[in-house]
Amino acid sequence: MVSEHPDAPDGDTAALALKILVAGGFGVGKTTLVGAVSEIRPLRTEELLSEAGQLVDDTDGVNQKVTTTVAMDFGRITIRSGLSLYLFGTPGQDRFWFLWDELSQGALGAVVLADTRRLEACFPAVDYFEHRHIPFVVAVNCFSGARAYGAHDVSRALDLDRGTPVVLCDARDRDSGKEVLIRLVEYAGRMHTARLLDSVG
């Protein structure tokens, strides 16, 4: 989604609003990241985990988690004057993946959050964006107590396409989350420019 920002200051005619997805497995920190960076009160659609959900949700490694996103999270951040990002956090469980197609419409790119303790949980998100040619970065949420891995190790473990950025972050920290978003915007911009050049070449 690329549109003029309705609240642009006088004289700022190049204001843009870009749509960004925040995806990843169950319990990796998507809601936390959106909430940490959003300059408005984030919209959340969280519900308490139920006994029925325990039969289908893999809570291994996230035993302390008591809520889950059932539709989406939404927030907004201004990266610089004239550039705002609208953030849409996707639900992590596979029974809610039917929402992804709707949420991904018009998105510039995506952040795939990863937890190295459960790296396999982000495979579906990586596959989803690779197959749809949506630019994405992998943001490794550095949980306390988790073994530290470098960006290159994570890239190899996920078998990412060459050039796909992997960044380390703390989803609770606004500055850290903002850096991830800036990396995504820069990468997506390069990818879209390259595709445009290819199409006219």
Q: Quote the pLDDT of residue 26.
A: 85
Q: Quote the pLDDT of residue 48.
A: 52
Strands (E), the chain: 2-3, 16-24, 46-48, 67-69, 73-80, 83-89, 109-114, 136-141, 166-169
- Cα–Cα distances in angstroms (integers) from residue 33 to residues 104, 162, 175, in the given order: 18, 26, 11
Question: Quick check: 20 and 110 in contact, CB under 8 A?
Answer: yes
C-alpha 201/C-alpha 18 separation (Å) is: 27
Those residues whose C-beta lies under 8 Å from the C-beta of residue 44, and which sit 6 or more positions away, are: 31, 35, 69, 73
Question: Quick check: 109 and 136 in contact, CB under 8 A?
Answer: yes
State phi, psi for 155 to the nearest 5 degrees. -60, -45
E strand or H helix at 195, and its extent? helix 174-200
Q: Quote the pLDDT of residue 113.
A: 97
Structure token digits, residue 107: 């998105």
Q: Quote the pLDDT of residue 57.
A: 47
pTM score, whole prediction: 0.81
Q: Quote the pLDDT of residue 43.
A: 81
C-alpha 151/C-alpha 171 separation (Å) is: 16
Strand partners for 167: 139
Q: Quote the pLDDT of residue 145.
A: 78
What amino acid is encoded at 171 in this protein?
A
Q: Quote the pLDDT of residue 124.
A: 93
Q: Which residue numbers in the chain have pLDDT < 50?
A: 10-13, 49-50, 52-57, 62, 65-66, 69-70
Sign for the CA dihedral angle at 62, 65, 67, 72 comes to negative
Question: Quick check: 44 and 36 in contact, CB under 8 A?
Answer: no
C-alpha 164/C-alpha 9 separation (Å) is: 35
Question: Quick check: 177 and 36 in contact, CB under 8 A?
Answer: yes
